């Protein structure tokens, strides 16, 4: 069995879960001044969940070489159907993620979706050539975010 040089770099970005995003969201909820239970409570809590956290520290880290390798692999034409892309390291990342490991460094959601799509194509969870329908749920309006911000003041 040959070892792909990408495998070690990609494997190093996977680790067992050490902290929970649930814990950090609970901390955010504790600090938030939410309205009483009801639709406005739900909307405010949802807005907090969807808000991008302040990641100034993570933005200052140098770009990961393994992330660049993943991006290069997944940006090749028809990457999700390409066996070389899959064997180039995507399968290792999928194996870790599907096994419950978490990433040491964050990945953009579009890369995670491509990794999942590659895996689902291979295990036939996603039929070859199928196209996802457009979402039918509406995004929250800007006034929900504003209301949440006003409640925190």
pLDDT of residue 146: 52
- Residue 86: what pLDDT? 93
Q: What is the pLDDT of residue 38?
A: 93
- pLDDT tens, position by position, 41-92: 999 998 888 885 654 444 555 678 888 898 999 998 888 899 999 999 899 9
Question: Does position 96 have pLDDT exceeding 80, yes or no?
Answer: yes
pLDDT value at position 42? 92
Q: Compute the average pLDDT of residues 87-106.
A: 88
What mean pLDDT value characterizes the chain? Answer: 76
Decide: 116 and 126 in contact? Cβ < 8 Å: no
Q: According to the model, what pLDDT value does residue 51 have? A: 82
Highest-confidence range of 5-14, 15-24, 116-125, by mean pLDDT? 116-125
Q: CA-to-CA distance for 137 and 124, rounded, in angstroms?
A: 27
Contact 74, 85 (CB under 8 A): yes
The 10 Å CB-count burial string (b at 16+, else e) for 128-152 is eeeeeeeeeeeeeeeebbebbeeee
Model confidence at 133, in pLDDT bands (50, 70, 90)? Answer: confident
Gap between the Cα atoms of 81 and 130, Å rounded: 12
For the residues of 45-107, what is the DSSP string, one character each?
Answer: HHHHHHSPP--HHHHHSPPPHHHHHHHHHHTSTTGGG-HHHIIIIIHHHHHHHHTT-EESS--
**Whether the predicted pLDDT of 102 surpasses 80:** yes
Would you state the pLDDT for residue 57?
A: 45
Higher per-residue pLDDT: 6 or 116: 116
């Amino acid at each position: 069995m040959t070892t792909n040089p990408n495998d070690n770099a990609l494997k190093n970005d996977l680790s067992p879960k050490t902290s929970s995003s649930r814990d950090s969201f609970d901390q955010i909820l504790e600090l938030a001044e939410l309205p009483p239970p009801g639709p406005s409570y739900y909307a405010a809590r949802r807005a907090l969940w969807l808000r991008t956290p302040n990641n100034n520290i993570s933005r200052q880290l140098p770009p990961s070489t393994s992330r660049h390798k993943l991006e290069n692999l997944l940006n090749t034409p028809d990457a999700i159907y390409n066996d070389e892309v899959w064997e180039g390291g995507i399968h290792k990342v999928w194996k870790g993620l599907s096994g419950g490991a978490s990433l040491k460094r964050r990945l953009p959601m579009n890369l995670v979706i491509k990794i999942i799509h590659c895996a689902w194509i291979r295990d036939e969870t996603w039929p070859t050539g199928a196209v996802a329908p457009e979402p039918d749920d509406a995004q929250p309006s800007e006034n929900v975010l504003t209301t949440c911000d006003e409640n925190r003041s």
